Amino acid sequence: AMATNSSGKFVLVTGGAGYIGSHTVVELLNKDYNVVVVDNLYNSSYEAIRRIEKISGKKVHFFQCDILDGPGLRKVFSQFDIYSVIHFAGLKAVGESTQIPLDYYHNNITGTITLLQVMKEFNVKNIVFSSSATVYGDPPIIPIPETCPTGSTNPYGRTKLFIEHILRDLCVAEKDWNAALLRYFNPAGAHPSGIMGENPTGIPNNLMPYLAQVAIGKREELSVFGNDYKTKDGTAIRDYIHVVDLSLGHLAALEKLNTKPGCVEYNLGTGHGSTVLEMVAAFSKAVGRDLPYKICPRRAGDVTNLTADPRKANTELNWKAEISLEEMCQSLWTWQTNNPEGFEGCDPNPPAEC
Ligand code: NAD
Ligand code: WQD
């Protein structure tokens, strides 16, 4: 039978306390999906769950559980009538993955296999997976269609690539499995409420959270990694997508799984590329003053251009990124000024019963 948001069945969200997961849980709750969240809180705070509850006005079913913990997952699957999983849980720092590759392969790949085994035991065979544009390596075609050859240059990217292969093999071997591999481009921005957003610990790896910390005075200046790329201003091009648009792509993918498509890949991007200097200008405009930056050498492993061709998702998922770059910058700035320390200072732990 077709499961929908009104069916009483649950969507399990792994990594639901994280940046993209928390925004997706809000959109699911807004559309009356029943949601249960599993997160080990390794890279997040229980405060994200409190904020989700504040925004949605609903109580979140939460379990502090590692996806490597099969028995822990079985407990969750036996308590809730789950029909689909949105799988965000994973480690995501590219640089760190080159330092501790075993941790990345174990957490991301073994964690996913553990999750899939438990899903199979409970006859849950629909999964939406967080893949990444990084699976395209240095792409030969811009904008990038899903048919572009894949290949990755770092352990993090290879975990995404391997998991894509695992899910594809599973859907070939067992025809009742359905998997949506969502290749995210560069998520940025925060929830329009101003109380939920990205909460990086330590020095941010990514451009937009780093810029936000420059703007509030936590960091002196942005290092622009390379101005000798073959682009209009010499800086690299990415496809920045608002995290709320990205979240809505997951709801569209869930709907798609109801049509039993097997394994399907979708780019979730806007189709519009921006250079680093264009992003600096756009964010400076939201802040209302120029932000300091210096030109530095290229960062190892960076490519010139990652811009999505999102037409497959536009057509087949009936989904399109619609929020402007201005709104992305504005929401990030509102979040950053209202929460200069992110969720620091809030209790990171769930109540005892979780
Ligand atoms: P995030 O770190 O904010 O969220 C991931 C969540 O997973 C965290 O809350 C973390 O505590 C949890 N987690 C990690 N390992 C776990 C485990 N073994 N068991 C249970 N929970 C675990 O990251 P995000 O930016 O929200 O990314 C979500 C997903 O999307 C990740 O898989 C990431 O690789 C992927 N992705 C992110 C980006 C990006 O730029 N943010 C781009 C492409 C793909
Ligand atoms: C964007 C641009 C940098 C920081 C990464 C992962 C990818 C996915 C998204 C998880 C690049 C430049 C950055 C800075 C800079 N993550 N930059 N100064 O590298 O496109 O993608 O996050 O799945 O897999 O690789 O994102 O935000 O780090 O960089 O000049 O301090 O900004 O060189 O051109 P990236 P990013």
Residue 205 CA to ligand 2 center (angstroms) comes to: 7
pTM: 0.98
**236 neighbors 275 (Cβ within 8 angstroms):** yes
Alpha-carbon torsion angle 234, 238, 240, 241, nearest 10: 160
Whether ligand 2 lies within 6 angstroms of the CB of 293 is answered as no
Q: Which bound ligand lies closest to the C-alpha atom of 236?
A: 2
Question: Has residue 204 got a pLDDT over 80?
Answer: yes
Cα(177) to ligand 1 centroid in Å equals 23
Tell me the CA–centroid distance for residue 140 and ligand 1, in Å.
28
Confidence class for position 353, pLDDT limits 50, 70, 90:
confident
pLDDT digits (tens, 9 = 90+) for 233-245: 999 999 999 999 9
Q: pLDDT per residue over 288-301, tens digit each?
A: 999 999 999 999 99
Length of the chain, in residues: 354
User: Which positions are annotated as active-site residues?
Assistant: 156
Sorted by sequence, the CB contacts under 8 Å of residue 115 that are 6+ apart come out as 14, 67, 73, 85, 87, 89
Does 354 have pLDDT greater than 80?
A: no
Q: Per-residue pLDDT tens for 68-103?
A: 999 999 999 999 999 999 999 999 999 999 999 999
Q: Closest ligand 1 atom, CA of 156?
A: 34
Location of structure tokens 């957003």: 197
